[in-house]
């Protein structure tokens, strides 16, 4: 309670203590008219204070509004370039996002295409590990057949067949036992083919080509045979040891001047040097043609070139010379070699494998229908055509 209220309370207490009849009417009227005046003055003072406070607050608000407008103008001036750059960044981001979305769509399309191709490939060769194994066996059999028929490489063909048999052994499917049996028969046939030492024959022909310049041509080393007198037993050109042999020596020398010789073949004239040069070059070319035919597995050309070379060796070179005889023996030996022996047909295992693969695929796609249902309806189970995984040509 305030101090201003304390006298009023005391006065009121005193008034209440004095009987009403004891106070004069003038005093009671004066007191009753002073209280509203005080309240009015207090109300006026409060109103003036509130008005001043309201004006001050309004003034402060106006000042703050002006300052806010200035600050907003400055901030707007500073933000405007940022907004422009932000708009550029947003446009760039939208363009980049559009490009990324386009790439993502392209990747999705490629992924769908790849998935389709993988599905197609899986349908062709099978989705299980057995499909890959059988495809590998088919590839090995096809490679072995090509190596044997095209390159005549029996060793490589045998290794390819052995690898295919090993894959089937690991596969351990009884349905492919017939294929393994055929592979075993093909291996025996391949190993029975005589092996041709192509390198050795080529080296022999190369050595023969090198020795052509050392071969003597027929008739270049003629030596007359000393003749012994049948009657006297004295050879022409000998010296008499005593007076008794003098007549015999003279007679042998005179008889040597006139002598008849018998030959099985007509005697040909000696070759001039230029013809001898061409003879050696042509003979060397025949040997080179034989070596080329050997490397190309051309048996007919090989035999023809060696036959011609042997005929020229016998007809134009000295048959009594040791080097000529040795070369003739070597040519006859290598001419007897069959450089292109008959090759077996090893495609039977490949045909059996493809046939069994088709049968296995058809069994996998057969619909499961109860026997009673099939009998009642009279419908026959049908198969769905599948791509032939082993139908590729050699």
Read off the pLDDT of each residue in 374-391 and give the average, rounded to a whole number: 42
Helix (H/G/I), strand (E/B), else coil: 277: helix
Model confidence at 364, in pLDDT bands (50, 70, 90)? low
Least confident of 150-159, 217-226, 289-298, 357-366: 217-226
Asked whether residue 240 is assigned to any structural domain, the reply reads yes
What is residue 363's predicted lDDT score, i.e. its pLDDT?
66
Q: To the nearest whole number, what is the mean pLDDT of the chain?
A: 75
Q: What's the CA gap between 146 and 151, in Å, rounded?
A: 7
Which of 254, 269, 284 is the C-terminal boundary of a domain?
269
Higher pLDDT, 99 or 222: 99
Whether residue 294 sits in one domain with residue 256: no
What is residue 4's predicted lDDT score, i.e. its pLDDT?
43
Q: What's the CA gap between 19 and 15, in Å, rounded?
A: 7
What is residue 80's predicted lDDT score, i.e. its pLDDT?
80
Q: What's the CA gap between 116 and 119, in Å, rounded?
A: 5
Whether residue 276 sits in one domain with residue 351: no
Asked whether residue 14 is assigned to any structural domain, the reply reads no
Most confident of 3-17, 232-246, 374-388: 232-246
Higher pLDDT, 264 or 210: 210
Query: Is 265's pLDDT higher than 80?
Result: no
Q: Kindly tell me the number of DSSP H helices and DSSP E strands found in the chain.
A: 12, 0
Q: Which residues of 134-166 are buried (b: 16+ CB within 10 A; e: fewer)?
A: bbebbebbbbbbebbbeebebeebbebbebbbe
Asked whether residue 13 is assigned to any structural domain, the reply reads no
Asked whether residue 68 is assigned to any structural domain, the reply reads no
What is residue 271's predicted lDDT score, i.e. its pLDDT?
58
Query: Is 188's pLDDT higher than 80?
Result: yes
List the beta bridge partners of residue 317.
217
What is residue 98's predicted lDDT score, i.e. its pLDDT?
92
Contact 297, 152 (CB under 8 A): yes
What is residue 393's predicted lDDT score, i.e. its pLDDT?
38
Whether residue 111 sits in one domain with residue 182: no
Residue 235 phi/psi, 5-degree rounding, is -85, 150
Smallest CA-to-CA distance from 357 within 208, 180, 202, 138 is with 138
Whether residue 111 sits in one domain with residue 239: no
Contact 347, 249 (CB under 8 A): no
What is residue 318's predicted lDDT score, i.e. its pLDDT?
82
Least confident of 105-119, 154-168, 217-231, 343-357: 217-231
Model confidence at 371, in pLDDT bands (50, 70, 90)? very low
Which of 323, 341, 359 is the C-terminal boundary of a domain?
341
What is residue 30's predicted lDDT score, i.e. its pLDDT?
56
Q: DSSP for 213-267, please give it.
A: GGSPBTTSS--PPP-B-TTT--BTT---SSHHHHHHHHHHHHHHTS-----SSPP
Least confident of 108-112, 172-176, 259-263, 356-360: 259-263
Least confident of 39-53, 162-176, 187-201, 234-248: 234-248
Asked whether residue 172 is assigned to any structural domain, the reply reads yes
Contact 286, 304 (CB under 8 A): no
Whether residue 186 sits in one domain with residue 233: no
Residue 349 phi/psi, 5-degree rounding, is -65, -35
Read off the pLDDT of each residue in 28-44 and give the average, rounded to a whole number: 75
Q: What's the CA gap between 318 and 286, in Å, rounded?
A: 19
pTM: 0.43
* CATH number of 373's domain: 1.20.120
Whether residue 276 sits in one domain with residue 336: yes
What is residue 254's predicted lDDT score, i.e. its pLDDT?
66
Whether residue 103 sits in one domain with residue 132: no
Higher pLDDT, 117 or 361: 117
Asked whether residue 39 is assigned to any structural domain, the reply reads no
Q: What's the CA gap between 300 and 306, in Å, rounded?
A: 10
Read off the pLDDT of each residue in 12-19 and give the average, rounded to a whole number: 45
Number of domains in the chain: 4
Whether residue 334 sits in one domain with residue 205: yes
Helix (H/G/I), strand (E/B), else coil: 217: strand
What is residue 57's predicted lDDT score, i.e. its pLDDT?
92
Domain that residue 363 falls in: 126-193+345-377
Whether residue 183 sits in one domain with residue 283: no
Contact 338, 172 (CB under 8 A): no
Whether residue 311 sits in one domain with residue 290: yes
Both tokens of 246, joined, read 């003098």
Asked whether residue 393 is assigned to any structural domain, the reply reads no
Share of the chain above pLDDT 70, in %: 68
**pLDDT tens for each residue of 287-332:** 999 999 888 888 889 889 999 999 888 888 888 888 888 998 898 8
Helix (H/G/I), strand (E/B), else coil: 228: strand
Read off the pLDDT of each residue in 181-205 and give the average, rounded to a whole number: 87
What is residue 48's predicted lDDT score, i.e. its pLDDT?
92
Share of the chain above pLDDT 90, in %: 7
Whether residue 152 sits in one domain with residue 120: no
Model confidence at 381, in pLDDT bands (50, 70, 90)? very low
What is residue 150's predicted lDDT score, i.e. its pLDDT?
83
Read off the pLDDT of each residue in 271-276 and give the average, rounded to a whole number: 66
If one counts every other C-beta atom within 10 angstroms of the C-beta of residue 339, the result is: 20
């Amino acid at each position: 309670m305030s101090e201003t209220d304390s006298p009023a309370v005391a006065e009121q207490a005193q008034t209440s203590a004095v009987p009403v009849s004891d106070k004069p009417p003038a005093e009671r009227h004066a007191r009753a008219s002073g209280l509203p005046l005080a309240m009015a003055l207090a109300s006026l003072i409060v109103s003036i204070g509130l008005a001043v406070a309201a004006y001050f607050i309004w003034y402060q608000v106006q000042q703050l509004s002006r300052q806010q407008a200035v600050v907003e103008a400055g901030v707007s001036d500073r933000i405007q370039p940022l907004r422009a750059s932000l708009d550029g960044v947003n446009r760039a981001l939208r363009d980049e996002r559009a490009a990324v979305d386009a790439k993502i769509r392209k990747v999705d399309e490629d992924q769908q295409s790849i998935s389709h191709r993988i599905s197609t490939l899986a349908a062709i060769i099978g989705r299980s590990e057995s499909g890959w194994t059988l495809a590998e066996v088919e590839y090995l059999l096809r490679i072995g057949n090509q190596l044997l028929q095209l390159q005549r490489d029996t060793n490589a063909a045998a290794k390819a067949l052995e690898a295919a048999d090993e894959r089937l052994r690991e596969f351990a499917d009884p349905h492919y036992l017939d294929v393994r049996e055929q592979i075993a028969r093909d291996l025996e046939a391949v190993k029975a083919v005589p092996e041709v030492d192509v390198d050795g024959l080529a080296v022999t022909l190369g050595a023969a080509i090198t020795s052509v310049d050392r071969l003597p041509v027929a008739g270049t080393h003629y030596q007359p045979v000393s003749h012994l007198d049948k009657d006297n037993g004295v050879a022409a050109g000998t010296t008499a040891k005593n007076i008794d042999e003098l007549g015999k020596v003279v007679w042998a020398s005179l008889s040597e001047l006139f002598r008849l010789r018998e030959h099985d073949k007509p005697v040909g004239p000696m070759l001039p040097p230029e013809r001898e040069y061409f003879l050696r070059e042509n003979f060397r070319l025949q040997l080179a043609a034989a070596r080329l035919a050997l490397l190309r597995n051309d048996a007919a050309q090989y035999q023809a070139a060696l036959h011609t070379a042997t005929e020229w060796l016998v007809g134009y070179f000295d048959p009594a010379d040791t080097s000529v005889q040795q070369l003739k023996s070597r040519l006859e030996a290598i001419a007897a070699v069959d450089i292109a022996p008959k090759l077996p047909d090893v495609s039977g295992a490949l045909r059996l494998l493809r046939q069994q693969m088709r049968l296995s695929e058809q069994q996998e796609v057969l619909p499961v229908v109860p026997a009673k249902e099939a009998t009642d309806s009279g419908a026959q189970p049908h198969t769905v055509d599948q791509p032939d995984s082993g139908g590729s040509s050699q």
